[in-house]
Amino acid sequence: MLSASRRAALAVLAFALLLSGCASAPPHAGAEQRVFAEPEDGAYPVTIDHAYGSTEVTTQPKRVVAIGWSGADIAIQFGTVPVAQGNATGIEGDYYPWVSEAIGKLGAPLPSLNPSLERGEVDLEYVLMQQPDLIVAINSGITEAEYKALSDIAPTIAFPSEPWATTVDEHIQMMGAALGRPTYAGEIKKETAKRVADVAAQHPELSGVTYLHSFLPSDDGQVVVFGSVDPRAQILEALGLEPLAGTLELQRKAGDPASFTVSMEQFLSLSPDVHVVISDEDTWREAVAANAAFQSWAPVSDNRVALIDDPATGLALATATPLGIDWGIDAIADRISRVVTETRGEGGAS
């Protein structure tokens, strides 16, 4: 729980900001050109339900702080650039390339950054300093104590049910409601589906090809497999790939989660036409060299592995946000297509 002393410190800081005039004039306000799309008619007030209760948004937010995974991506998709977000992880630089490109097109300043807004204990003092009028933590792991403290700063929207388990569709729907563009939320989904369908039409060779998407085997011989309900798996299937019957059976036994862990024995019993894995070359080579069984697995020994080794492209698939998919879908399809084309006629069975 948040300590009484920390709550008191926040209250003192808020009072100090008020006395200094920061509450009415955020830091660097004169140099800022905030960008936010106009809301749809009748969008406000709106009440949004989430795991810690419900939050009412009465007017269009103009200073949004994004906490958690991909919140900034999706807010920007709606035309609202957050004032603050977490640092991008897994790539060089602090912003995903599709985020910085989209912000550039909108003509807005880049959000300020704080690592605690991506994952970890949220720096409440930092959030307070941003003078937000809305805090979105829709795909995050904030605790109930953090939620209450954040709500003392500004209206805060938490995840719908479980931490770090918000689907992309849920994220889009909740963000659209919060930012006053609920109808556009549906349009975003249609636009993304059309973008992927257009790429699929350019790659008919992917149709009907069976795939398995997973992490590399861990040191203890376990493998995390992505099920057909995972957003990244849904993108692959929208390109025309098909899940293995064996994978679907293991997914069903695990309770149909987005991802699930299988033993090495179970993993090796599966033989897709193509194994899709996100990894850099060095890590991939080390994983193959360290595990003789994995090395002899048919998709590996037959070179039926679509290794997505560009970090940004891998993250575009992993986040599966509309902005990220639009940015990376061509490279993803091209990489898988090369493997399928080179190994045509060598596919495995479920």
Q: What is the mean pLDDT of residues 60-77?
A: 96
Residue-wise pLDDT tens digits, 220-248 = 889 999 999 899 999 999 999 999 999 99
Residue 44 has pLDDT above 50, yes or no: yes
For residue 10, name the pLDDT band (cuts at 50, 70, 90).
Answer: low
Place of tokens 């909740």: 174
* Residue % of the chain over a pLDDT of 70: 89
Which pLDDT belongs to residue 350?
Answer: 40
Residue 1 has pLDDT above 90, yes or no: no
Close Cβ partners of 276 (under 8 Å, ≥ 6 residues apart): 211, 212, 213, 236, 305, 306, 308, 336
Beta strands (DSSP E) in 158-230 are 210-213, 222-226
Q: Yes or no: say if 256 and 195 are a contact pair by the CB < 8 Å rule.
A: no
Place of tokens 């090796």: 268
For residue 344, name the pLDDT band (cuts at 50, 70, 90).
Answer: confident
Which pLDDT belongs to residue 343?
Answer: 85
- Cα–Cα distance, 122 to 220 (Å, whole number): 32
CATH topology of domain 191-344: Rossmann fold (3.40.50)
Collapsing DSSP to helix, strand or coil, 147 comes out as: helix
Q: What is the mean pLDDT of residues 27-38?
A: 59
Candidates 121, 146, 140, 149; CA nearest to 67 is 140
Which pLDDT belongs to residue 268?
Answer: 96
Q: Tokens representing 112? A: 């300020």
What average pLDDT does the structure give for the chain?
89
Q: What is the mean pLDDT of residues 240-261?
A: 94
Residue 19 has pLDDT above 50, yes or no: no
The full set of domain ranges for the chain reads 46-180, 191-344
* Residue % of the chain over a pLDDT of 90: 80
Do 191-344 and 46-180 have the same topology in CATH?
A: yes
Which pLDDT belongs to residue 42?
Answer: 97
Q: Tokens representing 292? A: 């003789």
Count of positions (residues) in the chain:
350
Candidates 133, 110, 113; CA nearest to 123 is 113
- Whether residue 45 is preceded by a cis peptide bond, meaning omega within 30 degrees of 0, is yes
Which pLDDT belongs to residue 174?
Answer: 98
Close Cβ partners of 98 (under 8 Å, ≥ 6 residues apart): 73, 316, 323, 324, 326, 327, 328
Residue-wise pLDDT tens digits, 83-116 = 999 998 888 888 999 999 999 999 999 999 999 9
Residue 243 is inside which H or E element, if any?
strand 242-243
77 vs 11, higher pLDDT: 77
Which pLDDT belongs to residue 30?
Answer: 37
Which class for 84: exposed (0-12), middle (13-18), buried (19 or more C-beta within 10 A)? buried
Which pLDDT belongs to residue 209?
Answer: 97
Residue-wise pLDDT tens digits, 148-165 = 999 999 999 999 999 998
Q: Tokens representing 347? A: 């596919």
CATH fit for domain 46-180, picks 3.40.50.1980, 3.30.1960.10, 3.40.50.2300, 3.90.960.10: 3.40.50.1980
Which pLDDT belongs to residue 119?
Answer: 83
Q: How far is CA 65 from the centre of its chain?
A: 16
- Name residue 226's amino acid: F
